[in-house]
Amino acid sequence: MTGWRPRSRVRIPPTLLMSEEVTTSLRTSWTTTSIEESTLLRKLTEQRFESEQLRVLGSAVRVAGEGIAILTPAVEALGPRIAFVNDGFCAIYSRPREEIIGETPVAFGIVDRHHAIFDSMLHHVFARKAFAAEVTAIRKDGREFELDLQLVPVEDGGELTHWVAFLRDVTDSRNEIVALRHQAMHDGLTDLPNRMMLFDRLAEALEMGRNEDRLIALLLMDLDRFKDVNDTFGHHFGDVLLKQVAFRLRNQLHFDDTVARLGGDEFAIVLTSALDANAVAMTARRILNTLQQPFVVEGQVLEVGASIGIALSPQHGSDARTLMRRADVAMYATKQSNTGYTFHERDDQESRDPDQLSLVVEMRGGIEREEFELYYQPKQHLRSGLMTRAEVLLRWNHPSRGLLLPASFIPIAERTGLIKVMTDWILDRALQQCRAWQDAGAPVHIAVNVSAKSLLEVTLPSKVQSALDKWNVDPRFLKIEITESSIMADPAHALAIMSMLQSMGVRLSVDDFGTGYSSLTHLRELPIDEIKIDKSFVMGMMTSDADAAIVRTVIDLAHNLGKQVCAEGVEDAVTLKCLEEMGCDLAQGYFISRPVPAAALMTWLTDNFWGLKKR
């Protein structure tokens, strides 16, 4: 290098000696400008660090758990060739490295039935675009597996230098997803389709019936005397009996038909191959006959019957909800007449109870006319003595019947499907009021009751989230109260919905605990924050040692499981004091306050010793 003279000799420590390539690279990068010794050392250190990074990266690629392959750019029509595969790739396909090097992407093992995906991958390669897909692939030994494949182009200065493929065996996770999907759509006890899948199947059947001018029949069936079995022999016997009923029902139906368990002892059947009403009636009689044969559970002979309600499409309705409602009406008529099965009779059954029918019509209009009103019953926190929570209760200010309590209209709303509309309305108005109280300086937590049918609705979590977002309410201020019997109607589905609600931050409470015969296993698994002791035990605890023992046991059990306890039905100071001594967390009842409208509750909070009034 003519004309260049260093100011002093550069001494390079032995630990920083680099390879000949690195030295040459540095030599060619030097200029005739003098370089200080510290500058040279810094450059040597940086390049050594980069070399070390490449070595570590190479080691990481070789031992990575997922498969990694490096391929050459595509050459004409041959496509890219594999230049390198790591140990993970070899493990996925059970092939040695030397056998794979030089192969085309055929080595990815995509099965023939996914040839369209393979063709799409090649199209992306020749277009120099990244590609990703989940496909079924095959190993060397012929076993299939689910493959997650990503193919990424690598460029340098605008020129394609190679492709990098990332491959993962996702068979286990795919199987888990399939299992979860099956669980979400099937009854956990009998493995029959659940209510959600029934509606899907029924909707598909009705669409097919319209397109092919075919009769579709819906049968709703309720077991007779099933409660007697549960009460006499316990729920274990009842569960075994339900499994045997499911088995017999499957054997009586065509493979195109659907039998589902809706919850409890209620089943539904969709017939798609019956030629006419007579054929449907014959199927109903066949089902009744097979269920009349004795069942044997652990050596005990059990006898149950069934009541079936039938609705036909298009005669009785053309949509799933209408058929469900009318089949339910027919089943109710069957129970009253004790005839085994009954077809829906439009003019007769829907007008059988004119008062109830008029209530249905009035309910629809009442929601639109704002005739319904929310009342609130305070819950007292026993340790602090303050009221921090309130249960939301519905009242109907009927223009001619006066103030109606839920017992007079909620069962009809559940039977006709109006309960879902009412639940949406209650959630919206209750959270609106919660927001108003918070803005006024009263951070009141609210508890909203959800019916069994609403709990089984898959859209319930999204509806709750929408209402929370609309009124900007922290999910922790909302508690969903679900009766024990509602959960036991379909425990697996209830658990799935409740888990989704809990993941959103919503609090959950089991209402009327002690009346639904749930097992301790179910109680332990439920994602709940609170257990409400049924008022029948609370109101009797001062006069009945048995009721007092039950209350005390539930409190201890709940606390051992990390749950709070609320006692409802507190009618006097003595009961309240006794609950406090037992360690109960919350209490509500007429002694504390009757349910009152929102404005009255705010006054109560301001003026009452238990409310926000400073002592």
Q: Average of pLDDT values for 1-23? A: 41
Is 463's pLDDT higher than 60? yes
Residue 261 pLDDT greater than 90, yes or no: yes
pLDDT band at 426, cuts 50/70/90? very high
* pLDDT at 351 (0 to 100): 45
Q: Could you tell me which residue, 532 or 54, shows the higher pLDDT?
A: 532
* Tens of pLDDT, residues 159-186: 888 899 999 998 887 877 777 777 788 8
Measured CA to CA, the distance from residue 538 to residue 25 in angstroms comes to 87
- Helix 277-292 with 235-251: angle, nearest 10 deg: 140
The helix/strand/coil state of 309 is: strand
Amino acid of residue 363: M
Concatenating the DSSP letter of every residue in 116-183 gives HHHHHHHHHHHTT--EEEEEEEE-TTS-EEEEEEEEEEEEETTEEEEEEEEEEE-HHHHHHHHHHHHH
Check: CB of residue 404 under 8 Å from CB of residue 375: no
Average pLDDT, integer, range 433-450? 92
Task: Extract the tokens encoding 53.
Answer: 């990074």
What is the radius of gyration, based on Cα positions, of the chain? 35
So what's the pLDDT on residue 178?
75
Percent of the chain with pLDDT over 90: 38
Provide the CB-side half-sphere exposure for 539 (13 A, CA): 10
pLDDT per residue as tens digits for the range 276-308: 888 898 899 999 989 988 899 988 888 888 999
Decide if 598 contacts 374 (C-beta within 8 A): yes
- Percent of the chain scored above 70 by pLDDT? 83
Q: Where are the domains of the chain?
A: 67-169, 178-349, 370-607
Q: How far apart are CA 500 and CA 149, in angstroms?
A: 31
pLDDT of residue 595: 94
How many other CB atoms are there within 10 angstroms of residue 435's CB atom?
A: 16
Question: In terms of CATH, what superfamily is 67-169?
Answer: PAS domain (3.30.450.20)
| Model confidence pLDDT, tens digit, residues 491-537 | 777 888 999 999 999 999 988 775 544 555 567 778 999 999 888 88
Rounded (to 5) percent helix, strand, coil in the chain = 50, 25, 30
Give dist(CA 468, CA 258) in Å, integer. Answer: 37
Q: What is the pLDDT of residue 453?
A: 74
- The residue with greater pLDDT, 156 or 564, is 564
Higher pLDDT, 83 or 29: 83
417, 409 contact by CB (below 8 A) = no
| pLDDT reported for residue 503 | 93
- 465 pLDDT more than 90: yes
Q: How confident is the model at residue 23 (pLDDT cuts 50, 70, 90)?
A: very low
Q: How many Cα atoms are found within 13 Å in the side-chain-facing hemisphere of 390?
A: 29
Weakest mean pLDDT among 63-77, 92-106, 175-189: 63-77
What is the per-residue pLDDT for 9? 38
The 10 Å CB-count burial string (b at 16+, else e) for 92-120 is bbebeeeebeeeebebbbbeeebeebbee
Query: What pTM does this model have?
Result: 0.49
Please tell me which of 361-365, 534-538, 549-553 the model is most confident about, judged by mean pLDDT. Answer: 549-553
pLDDT value at position 538? 92
Q: Which residues contact 275 (CB under 8 A, 6 or more apart)?
A: 215
- Token pair recorded at residue 559: 């606390």
Q: Kindly state the tokens that stand for 587.
A: 């209490």
Which residues is 377 bridged to in the sheet? 391
Question: Of 417 and 373, which is predicted with more confidence?
Answer: 373
pLDDT for 347 beyond 50: no
- Homologous superfamily of domain range 178-349: Reverse transcriptase/Diguanylate cyclase domain (3.30.70.270)
Model confidence at 436: pLDDT above 50 = yes
Judged by average pLDDT, the poorest of 51-60, 174-183, 186-195 is 51-60
Sequence-separated (6 or more) residues with CB below 8 Å from residue 308: 219, 220, 221, 284, 287, 288, 331, 334, 340, 341, 342
CATH superfamily for domain 370-607: EAL domain (3.20.20.450)
Judged by average pLDDT, the poorest of 334-348, 379-393, 446-460 is 334-348
At 412, is the pLDDT very low, low, confident or very high (cuts 50, 70, 90)? confident
Given strand 67-71, what is the order of strands in its sheet?
A: 82-85, 67-71, 159-169, 144-156, 131-138
Of residues 531, 522, 534, 458, the one with CA closest to residue 496: 458
Q: Is the pLDDT of residue 19 over 50?
A: no
Confidence of residue 37 (pLDDT cuts 50, 70, 90): low
Position 11 scores a pLDDT of 40
Among candidates 509, 560, 569, which has minimal Cα distance to 537?
A: 569
Contact 496, 212 (CB under 8 A): no
For residue 175, what pLDDT is reported? 78
Q: Model confidence at 397, in pLDDT bands (50, 70, 90)?
A: very high
